[in-house]
A and B are shown apart, each in its own frame.
Chain A
Amino acid sequence: MYTQALNTAETADRDLEDAGKAAQFQARIDAEERIEPNDWMPAAYRKTLTRQISQHAHSEIVGMLPEGNWITRAPTLRRKAALLAKVQDECGHGLYLYAAAETLGSSREELVDAMLAGKAKYSSIFNYPTLTWADIGTIGWLVDGAAIMNQIPLCRCSYGPYARAMIRVCKEESFHQRQGYEIMVTLCRGSEEQKAMAQDALNRWWWPVLMMFGPPDATSQHSDTSTKWKIKRFSNDELRQKFVDATVPQAQYLGLTIPDPGMTQDADGHWRYSEIDWAEFKQVLAGNGPCNRDRMAARRKAHEEGAWVREAAASYAAKRAQRQTAQAAE
Chain B
Amino acid sequence: MSCANIQVSETPLVLYALRRADDALILGHRLSEWCGHAPLLEEDMALSNIALDLIGQARELYTFAAKVEGRDNDEDKLAYLRDVRQYRNLLLVEQPNGDFAQTLVRQFFYSAFADLYWRAMMKSRDATLAAIAAKSEKESAYHLRHASEWVIRLGDGTEESHRRAQGAIENLWAFTGEMFAVDDSERGLIDAGIAVDPGSLRGRWLTTITDVTREATLALPQNEWMQQGGRSGRHSEHLGHLLSELQSMQRTFPGLTW
Contact = CB atoms under 8 A, between A and B. Distances in A.
A and B found bound together: yes
Interface of A: 61, 64-65, 68, 71-81, 84-85, 87-88, 91-92, 94-95, 98, 133, 183, 186-187, 190-191, 193-194, 298, 301-303, 305-313, 315-316, 319
A84 B52 CA distance: 7
Contacts of A319: 156
B44 A311 contact: no
A302 B37 CA distance: 5
Given A81-B55, A85-B52, A309 B245 contact: no
A187 B249 CA distance: 13
A309 B153 CA distance: 9
A59 to B, nearest CB: 13
Interface stretch (B12-20, B124-132, B157-165): B157-165
Contacts of B32: 71-72, 80, 84
A87 B59 contact: no
Contacts of A312: 153-154, 157-158, 160-161
A76 B157 CA distance: 40
Given A76-B258, A77-B55, A81-B52, A310 B39 contact: yes
B29 to A, nearest CB: 6
B248 interface: yes
Contact of A194 (B38, B153, B253): B253
Contacts of A88: 35, 44-45, 48-49, 52
15 contacts: A72-B246, A73-B249, A75-B249, A77-B25, A84-B48, A84-B55, A92-B45, A95-B41, A186-B257, A303-B39, A306-B40, A309-B39, A312-B158, A315-B157, A315-B158
Contact of A133 (B157, B161, B245, B249): B249
Contacts of A75: 80, 249-250, 253, 256, 258
Contacts of B152: 316
A192 B76 CA distance: 22
A88 B250 CA distance: 24
Contacts of A77: 25, 55, 58-59, 62, 75-76, 79
Nearest to A306: B39
Interface centre among B25, B44, B62 (most CB of A within 10 A): B44
B35 A79 contact: no
A74 B25 CA distance: 13
Place the interface of chain B in its size category.
35 or more
Interface of B: 25, 29, 32-33, 35-45, 48-49, 51-52, 55-56, 58-59, 62, 75-76, 79-80, 99-100, 152-154, 156-158, 160-161, 164, 245-246, 248-250, 253, 256-258
Contacts of A92: 45
Nearest 7 A/B pairs, CB to CB:
A306-B39, A312-B157, A312-B161, A75-B249, A309-B39, A75-B258, A68-B36
A72 B37 contact: no
Given A88-B35, A316-B153, 16 more contacts: A71-B32, A71-B33, A73-B245, A73-B248, A76-B76, A76-B80, A79-B258, A84-B55, A186-B258, A190-B258, A303-B39, A308-B158, A308-B160, A310-B39, A310-B40, A312-B158
B37 A194 contact: no
Contacts of A78: 59
Interface residues of A, dominant DSSP: helix
Contacts of B75: 77
Contacts of B44: 64, 88, 91
A194 B62 contact: no
Nearest to A98: B41
A321 B75 CA distance: 48
B36 A64 contact: yes
Nearest to B25: A77
B161 A311 contact: yes
Nearest to A307: B39
A88 B256 CA distance: 27
A228 B108 CA distance: 54
A190 B256 CA distance: 7
A190 B39 contact: no
A17 B92 CA distance: 67
A72 B99 CA distance: 18
B35 A306 contact: no
A298 B36 CA distance: 8
A295 B153 CA distance: 30
A89 to B, nearest CB: 9
Contacts of B35: 64, 68, 71, 84, 87-88
Interface centre among B29, B36, B56 (most CB of A within 10 A): B36
